[in-house]
Chain A
Amino acid sequence: MRSTVTDSIATAAVAPRQTAGGRGASRAGGPARRRRRTLTAYLFLAPFLVLFTTFVLAPAVYGLWISLTDWSPFRDVQSFIGFSNYADLFRSGSTTHDDFWQSMGATGIFVVASVPLLVVVPLLVAVLLNQRIRAATTFRTIFFAPYVLGVAVVGLVWGYVLDTQSGILNHLLHVVGIQADVPWTVDTPWVWVSLVGVTVWWTAGLNTVIFLAGLKGINTELYEAAALDGAGAIRSFFSVTLPGLRPVMLFITTTTVLASANMFGQSYLLTVGGPGNATRTAIMYIADQGLSQNNMAPAAAMSYVLFAFLAVVSIVNFRLQRERVEKGSAR
């Protein structure tokens, strides 16, 4: 699911102008023909639409209903209680208020700390890999490799590396003369360094590959023209590469923000949400409340609040980057 979505959006983003400047076939047909074409299109879309409705849309609506009830898996009848689950989230002193907003704060910290790195690092790596260097494919595979690992493996491996007393990392630090036992997975702020670092190591490969695809789509003549105009490597990166990557950039920032906001496994496995509850993310708290503690209704309400936040962030992101695209093309 994840990869197919990624692929299709990536290709669409890389080559958006092919159809727009095409023959204009749809304009040629009459109304009846157009209707038939529309019908055909919907028929092709139908299988996905059925799956989307069954597994995304319907549960989403059902979740909304749950969030408005005092839903309990142990009762046969659920009663409608309006917005009180939501009100609890915004009422200081309720059972969910403090924990929920703390987890939202933790999620916020992680997003702000991880997203810039997850965009910049893959971008630089992609630019390097796009040079005519030996064994580029090998390097690409190496950078992408961690992404295929499951989060359980990532958590286990890094747990050994980051252990306070017996971890490999602290051992290496001792070798170079840093004697402190850094509590990578136990205490702030190190837990954030670890979580962001591990996430970059784990998922940067995906963004790198998408950036690479974007780079391949930039017309090489533009670089030649820039070089003729006297632009150096840095100038052509900012004047040719970055503008050429704008559609890809929009896609990557959007998906990366969402992925980081949904972080769960890393802190669940590496820091166990600690110290205290400092690294318990929103998804972790929602999952615990909904699935472990049977507080499904408040958990559903939290999901929708989180969703609202992410929707706003995504829309702002779209707006900002779309304006830049328009300005860029107008210039």
Chain B
Amino acid sequence: MRKSWTRGIGAGLAAVVALALAACSGSGSGSGGGGGGAVTGNGEYAGPKVEITFWHGWTGGAAPTLVPQLIDKFNSEHDNIVVKAVPQEWADIASKLPLAIKAGKGPDVAVLHGDDLATYAAQRLLLQADDIVKALGYTADDFPPGVYDKGNYQDAQYAVPWSVTPLGLYVNKEVMAKGGVKDIPTDKASYEAALKSLKDAGVKGEWVDGYVFTGTFEFQSLLWQFGGDLYNEDVTEATFNSDAGVQALTWMRSLIDDGYSPANVAQDGNIKALLAGDTAFNWNGVWQTTNTAFDGLDWAAAPVPQIGPEKAVWSSSTHWVFPANKGQDENKTAAAATFVKWMNDNSAGWAETGELPGANSVRDDPALVEKYPNLAPFMEELEYAHYETVSPGINEANALVTTAINEALTGKKTPKAALDDAKAKADQILEQNRAKYGD
């Protein structure tokens, strides 16, 4: 019995811990008044010496060695700023950051994913950064098209882009050659022709799955290619069940029905199959370029093929934000802004982590592609990439898209029925979000 209590009220327990956390820190020092920080021209900080804290979720891959190196370098170049980084899992940041900021114990600068920005902004957890961004001299043109606006919520800028991570087409060239395919396909005709000749050679050319990371992002890319969008302009209604959405999902389903993909691919089954030489193509994120399992494989990356009438591809983005801690010290925010600018200027090495640096100036430097040639096709895609939806609490609605894809690919529902059901539910969630976060 006690066990059921313990488990059953886990949510309650978490809340109590959270409350205690808030209460403890509430009694802490409350120096200074709230408000935005000011940077003294050109992104340089000239105030008194400050120590700023920086929260990020880069705990895997090359980041744990790269980030401390960057920070050490920054600290040694700046006499009046000491940056202290606090790495932790993204999930921990999501659960801790709001409460920490409300209690005045949050970081002075943090990195967030694009789909979280509006959620934080709606809760007034972030400083409006229009002045900071202006002082740093940033405009939308300094970043790939569409990314900068992801930091804009209700006509205020809350963020500075840091990195972008588009989807691309990974090709096992050895398998592709087995099917007699010479060139990496770029459009519907060549892609389907390639799949057909692979099929004739006994290879299922692309394995589609109904899970996050491949199926979901492939569907979104196709949705945009067919001229659709996930939501309407002001994000009050889901539109992924439009003709474009149905076309996109029907096309994915047809890969199974036409024998180009096996049925019932498990999560990550497709990238495993590509690495094992069982399939030729996989739509996957730029982060896979750092996957060491590719070593020794004859592979290539390319822009995703254009299946619909428009060029489009899914991408996510990460952004710098300035938390609106209770009693936030303006000097610290100003120092944080300097740090952000410096990091963006010095982000060439960030490509090592399998993400594309957001700053155009860094990405346009030919040395970057020279050092990381695999990133070239992904950078090419940024002209027509689509990013996250700016709306608080949007992830709950986004999750329904994956459910719909899963249902359609496992044959539980037709593509249209699956998307219609998900749309109805998503509309409810959007309405609930408006009540929850205020509109």
Q: Is the CB of B15 within 8 A of A272?
A: no
A294-B263 contact in complex given A56-B5, A307-B8, A307-B9, C-beta closer than 8 Å: no
Interface readout for A165-192 with B: 1 if CB under 8 Å, 0 if not? 1110000000000000101111100000
Q: Is the CB of A62 within 8 A of B15?
A: yes
A59-B432 contact in complex given A163-B272, A164-B262, A307-B9, C-beta closer than 8 Å: no
Q: Which of A72, A162, A303 has the most CB of B within 10 A?
A: A303
Q: Is the CB of A63 within 8 A of B12?
A: yes
- Chain B residues 11-52 with CB under 8 Å of chain A are 11-16, 18
* Least distance between A256 CB and chain B CB atoms (Å): 11
* Chain A CB within 8 A of B273 CB: yes
Q: Is the CB of A55 within 8 A of B396?
A: no
Q: Which single member of A5, A58, A290, A310 contacts B16 (CB below 8 Å)?
A: A58
A311-B1 contact in complex given A73-B18, A303-B12, C-beta closer than 8 Å: yes
* Interface-facing stretch out of A27-35, A110-118, A207-215, A274-282: A274-282
* Chain A CB within 8 A of B305 CB: no
Cα–Cα, bound, A134→B57 (Å) = 52
Interface readout for B248-290 with A: 1 if CB under 8 Å, 0 if not? 0000000000000011111101001100101000000000000
Contact partners of A72 in chain B: CB under 8 A: 436
- Chain A: how many interface residues by the 8 Å CB criterion? 59
Which residue of chain B has its CB nearest to the CB of A314? Answer: B1
Q: Is the CB of A183 within 8 A of B264?
A: yes
Cα–Cα, bound, A62→B11 (Å) = 10
Q: Is the CB of B406 within 8 A of A293?
A: no
Which residue of chain A has its CB nearest to the CB of B1? Answer: A314
Cα–Cα, bound, A299→B9 (Å) = 10
Q: Is the CB of A274 within 8 A of B410?
A: yes
* Chain B CB within 8 A of A241 CB: no
* Chain B CB within 8 A of A255 CB: yes
Which residue of chain B has its CB nearest to the CB of A167? Answer: B266
Cα–Cα, bound, A205→B413 (Å) = 40
Contact partners of B15 in chain A: CB under 8 A: 59, 62-63, 66, 71, 296, 300
Q: Is the CB of A255 within 8 A of B410?
A: no
Q: Which single member of A5, A165, A275, A307 contacts B5 (CB below 8 Å)?
A: A307
Contact partners of A2 in chain B: CB under 8 A: 3
- Chain B residues 196-221 with CB under 8 Å of chain A are 207, 210-211
Which residue of chain B has its CB nearest to the CB of A65? Answer: B12
Q: Is the CB of B265 within 8 A of A164?
A: yes
Q: Is the CB of B11 within 8 A of A296?
A: yes
Q: Is the CB of B11 within 8 A of A283?
A: no
Contact partners of B12 in chain A: CB under 8 A: 59-60, 62-64, 66, 300, 303
Q: Which of A74, A299, A307, A314 has the most CB of B within 10 A?
A: A74
Cα–Cα, bound, A196→B406 (Å) = 22
A163-B4 contact in complex given A73-B18, A296-B15, C-beta closer than 8 Å: no
- Chain A residues 256-311 with CB under 8 Å of chain B are 258-259, 261-262, 272, 274-277, 283, 286-287, 290-296, 299-300, 303-304, 306-307, 310-311
Q: Is the CB of B266 within 8 A of A164?
A: yes
* Least distance between A79 CB and chain B CB atoms (Å): 13
A276-B406 contact in complex given A59-B13, A166-B276, C-beta closer than 8 Å: yes
* Chain B CB within 8 A of A105 CB: no
Q: Is the CB of B8 within 8 A of A303?
A: yes
* Chain B CB within 8 A of A95 CB: yes
Count how many pairs of residues, one from A and one from B, have CB atoms less than 8 Å apart in the complex.
155
Cα–Cα, bound, A176→B9 (Å) = 47
Q: Is the CB of A291 within 8 A of B393?
A: no
* Least distance between B186 CB and chain A CB atoms (Å): 27
Q: Which single member of A60, A254, A314 contacts B9 (CB below 8 Å)?
A: A60
Cα–Cα, bound, A20→B16 (Å) = 41
Q: Is the CB of B406 within 8 A of A275?
A: yes
- Chain B: how many interface residues by the 8 Å CB criterion? 51
Interface readout for B79-106 with A: 1 if CB under 8 Å, 0 if not? 0000000000000001100110000000
Contact partners of B403 in chain A: CB under 8 A: 274, 276-277
Which residue of chain B has its CB nearest to the CB of A74? Answer: B123
* Least distance between B19 CB and chain A CB atoms (Å): 8
Cα–Cα, bound, A186→B396 (Å) = 22
Cα–Cα, bound, A141→B14 (Å) = 36
* Chain A CB within 8 A of B174 CB: no
Q: Is the CB of A185 within 8 A of B98?
A: no
Contact partners of B272 in chain A: CB under 8 A: 163, 166
- Chain B residues 396-439 with CB under 8 Å of chain A are 396, 403, 406-407, 410, 412-413, 425, 428-429, 432, 436-437
Cα–Cα, bound, A11→B273 (Å) = 51
Q: Is the CB of A186 within 8 A of B266?
A: yes
A56-B6 contact in complex given A74-B123, A300-B12, C-beta closer than 8 Å: yes
Q: Is the CB of B8 within 8 A of A304?
A: yes
Q: Is the CB of B2 within 8 A of A165?
A: no
* Chain A CB within 8 A of B64 CB: no
* Chain A CB within 8 A of B7 CB: yes
Q: Which of B266, B273, B407, B429 has the most CB of A within 10 A?
A: B266
* Chain B CB within 8 A of A243 CB: no
Cα–Cα, bound, A290→B278 (Å) = 41
* Chain A CB within 8 A of B137 CB: no
Q: Which single member of A62, A276, A292, A314 contacts B4 (CB below 8 Å)?
A: A314
Q: Which single member of B3, B7, B16, B266 contacts A62 (CB below 8 Å)?
A: B16
Which residue of chain B has its CB nearest to the CB of A164? Answer: B264
* Least distance between B123 CB and chain A CB atoms (Å): 4
* Chain A CB within 8 A of B68 CB: no
A-B contact pairs, 17 of them (CB 8 A): A60-B12, A74-B437, A95-B425, A165-B273, A166-B276, A272-B211, A274-B403, A274-B410, A275-B210, A275-B412, A276-B407, A286-B11, A291-B11, A291-B95, A292-B94, A306-B8, A311-B1
List 8 other contacts, CB 8 Å, given A162-B266, A275-B412, A300-B15.
Answer: A163-B269, A163-B272, A164-B263, A166-B272, A166-B278, A274-B406, A275-B210, A294-B436
